Amino acid sequence: MCGIIGYIGSEKASPILLKGLFNLEYRGYDSAGMATLNNEIIVCKKGAGKIHDINHKLNFLSLEGTIGIAHNRWATHGGVNDINAHPHFDCSKAIAIVHNGIIENHRELKEALSEHKFESETDSEILAHLIEEELKKGFSFEDAFVNAILKLDGNYAVLAIKAGEEKILAARKGSPLVVGVTDHGIFLSSDIPSFLEWTKKVVYLHDYDIVIAERGGIRIYNLIEGQVSRPIDTVEWDAEQIKKGGFDHYMLKEILDQTETIYRAIQQDIDVVNKIIDEIRKAYGIFFVGCGSSYHACLAGSYLFSKIAETHINVVLASEFENYEHFLRENTLVFAVSQSGETADVLEAVRAAKRSGSKVIGIVNRMGSSLTRESDEFLLMNAGPEICVLSTKTYTSQVALMILLAYALIGRYEEGIQKLKGLYMDIYNLTSRSMREHLKKLAEMLVHKEHIYLIGRGLQFTTALEAALKIKEVSYIHAEAFAGGELKHGPLALIEDGTPVIVFVGEDDEKKILSNANEVKARGGYIIGVSAERHDIFDYWIKVPEGGDLNPIVQIIPMQILAYKLAVLKGLDPDKPRNLAKSVTVI
C-alpha cells in the first residue's frame, strides 16, 4: 500500500533512500520516485515500473543533497504511469510530498483550489497544493503543513520538503510511519526494514503526530495532545534477517525459516497468556477476525478451540465485521489477527469493538504497529520481518499461537509448548531439498493447468483454503478449496478427466475424505494426497507426518513450496505478485 522514506543528515541522501526503496518494495512496486534538496532547490526523478528498472533508466544516485524523500507506489487513485508516481509538487515546484494512504476528501479540496494546476490523477497531490496555499497566506512551512494536514479526511503517512528549508515534515494518521535515529541523521519511513542497515533505534509514532526532522534531531507535536516526547526503542531484528541470505527469493527463505519461527512464536510471557486466558473465561462471545491468510488462521483457530478446549469462536472476515457489530458487548472478546498490525480492515474492526466497550486482543508480528497500540493486550508472533507479499511463516506462527492458547485454556499450556517444540524435525524434513524436488515434479505437472481444486474436512478444510490462496496469489492459477462434504452439493460438476484435486487427509476424517476423493476419482479427477499414509486412490502422494492438532502447520508447508515452485516455473516473481501489496492499509 505504498512505502515512503525520508532521510535528513550528513550523508548523501539518494543512495540511502534507494536502498530504503528496495527494502520497502514489498509495500508497492508499480512506480517509484525520489526528490532531494540540492542547493536550496528540489530535484526529482520518478517513473512507472519496478525500482530496479526505473533506477537503471533515471539513475536516482545522480540526485545530490543530504535531505530527501522517496516513494514506492501501489496505485489506488489514478493509473500506473510516470505522472502519477510520487513525489508530487505544488504549482511552483517548491514543495514536494510523498504519501501513503487515501485522502478521502481530495475532490472537494481540489474544487476549492480551482486556480491551481494539478498534474496527476492522484489524491495525494492535493497536499502539496494545500501547503502552497497556506504559505501564500504568510504561514511558516511548519504551520502551513499543519494547517494543510488539518484539512485532510482519510488516512495518511506523509513527508514533505520545501526548497530552501533544511527539514522534513511528517504526519501520520492511520498509515504506518516510524522514525529511525542514527548518529549521522534521521529516517522517517513506513517500515523499519528500510533503515535497519543503519540503525535499530526507532521511535514509534502515533496517530495525529506531526514530526519536524532537522539535522539536530526531531520534535514531535500531536494534533490532540500538543508537544509530546516519544521514547526511543531498540528493535531486535537485524539487517541480516531482511536479506535473502543466499536464496533466490524471500518467499523460499521465509518458508525455510519456519523451523525456527514456530519456536519463536511459543516464547511468550506466561503472565500475558494467563491474562488473556482469564479474559476468554470471562467473555460472553468471542470473535476471531482477520483478512487473507490471517483469516484462515482464525478459521483454523476456531476448529482448534472447538476440538481442544470445547470453546465456541465466531470467525469473521475483518472486512465483514461491521455486520456483527450489534452483537458486541462490554464482555465480548475480539481477537484481531494480523501479521502487519496495519491492515485497515482489521483496524476498523478493532475500532468497532472498542466503540462497543469490548476488549481486543491482538495477535501480531510487528511490534509498534497500530494493532499493538490499539489492542488491550497482544501476543507477538516473533517471526521476524516477512518481506515476501505472501504470508508463509507468519501464518504458521499464528496457528501455533492458536494452538498454544487452546491448550492454555484447558490448563495444559506446557503440553501445547512441547507439542509445538516437537515440530522442529518435521518442518526440517518438510522443507528439505528432497521434498522440494518432489514438489517441483508435481509443479511441473500442474503448471499448465487452468484449475486446481483442494479439499479437506475439519482442520484440513482450513488448510485447503490457505493452500488455495497461496497457489492463486503467486502462480495466478485458479485454485479453489471446498469442504469435502460439499463436493456433492455442486463442485463435483467441475471435475473432468485429469482435473487435479489436492486432498488433505487427517486421521480424524480419513474415511470420509477418502470417500470424497473417490467421488472425484470416479469422474476422472487426478488425486494428489497430502497425508501420513499412502492410499491406493492417490495418483501423487505428498508424505507429511500425522500432526493431529498440528496438521494445519505440517500440511500447509508443502503447499507453500508447491505454490513457490509453480511461480518460479512460470517465470513469475514470487515475492511480488501482480496487483498485490504486503500491507493493505486501504479499506
Enzyme catalytic residues: 2, 582
- Residue 171 or 349: which CB sits closer to ligand M6R? 349
Q: How far is the CB of 185 from ligand M6R (least distance, A)?
A: 29
Q: How far is the CB of 399 from ligand M6R (least distance, A)?
A: 13
Identity of the residue, 103 or 471, whose beta carbon is nearer to ligand M6R in the bound complex? 471
Which residue, 391 or 499, has its beta carbon nearer to ligand M6R?
Answer: 391
Minimum CB separation of residue 35 from ligand M6R in Å reads: 29
Residue 242 is placed in which grid cell?
Answer: 531482511
C-alpha cell read off for 205: 509514532
Least Å from the CB of residue 283 to ligand M6R:
22
Q: How far is CA 436 from CA 174, 280, 389, 400, 476, in A?
A: 40, 40, 21, 23, 20
In angstroms, give the least distance from the CB of 461 to ligand M6R: 18
**Strand order through the sheet with 359-364:** 314-317, 286-290, 333-338, 359-364, 377-380
Label residues 30-63 b or e (16+ Cβ within 10 Å = b): bbbbbbbbbeeebbbbbbbbbbeebbeebebeeb
13 within 8 A of 161, measured Cβ to Cβ: no
The secondary structure of 107-166 as a DSSP string is HHHHHTTTTS---SS-STHHHHHHHHHHHHTT--HHHHHHHHHHT--EEEEEEEEETT--
Q: Which is nearer to ligand M6R, 54 or 346 (CB)?
A: 346
**Neighbouring residues of 194: CB distance < 8 A, sequence distance ≥ 6:** 3, 5, 19, 20, 21, 23, 24, 187
Residue 580 CB, nearest approach to ligand M6R (Å): 6
Residues that bind ligand M6R (CB under 6 A): 291-294, 338-340, 343, 346, 389-391, 469, 473, 580, 583-584
Give the CA distances from residue 388 to residues 166, 195, 238, 385, 562, in Å, rounded to whole numbers and listed in that order.
Answer: 35, 18, 17, 9, 16
Among 70, 60, 134, 121, which residue's Cα sits nearest to residue 100?
70
Rounded CA separation 137/120 (Å): 25
- Nearer residue to ligand M6R within complex by CB, 160 or 291: 291
**The three three-digit cell numbers of residue 301, written as one number:** 483457530
Q: Which is nearer to ligand M6R, 205 or 584 (CB)?
A: 584
Taking the least distance from each CB to ligand M6R, the nearer of 178 and 186 is 178
| Distance in Å, CB of 572 to ligand M6R, minimum | 14
* Cross-strand bridge partners of residue 48: 31
Grid cell 543530504 — which residue?
A: 66
Say how far apart CA 398 and CA 381 lie, in whole Å: 7
Q: Minimal CB distance to ligand M6R: which residue?
A: 292
Strands 178-181 and 201-204: antiparallel
Q: Name the amino acid, one letter, at 368.
A: G
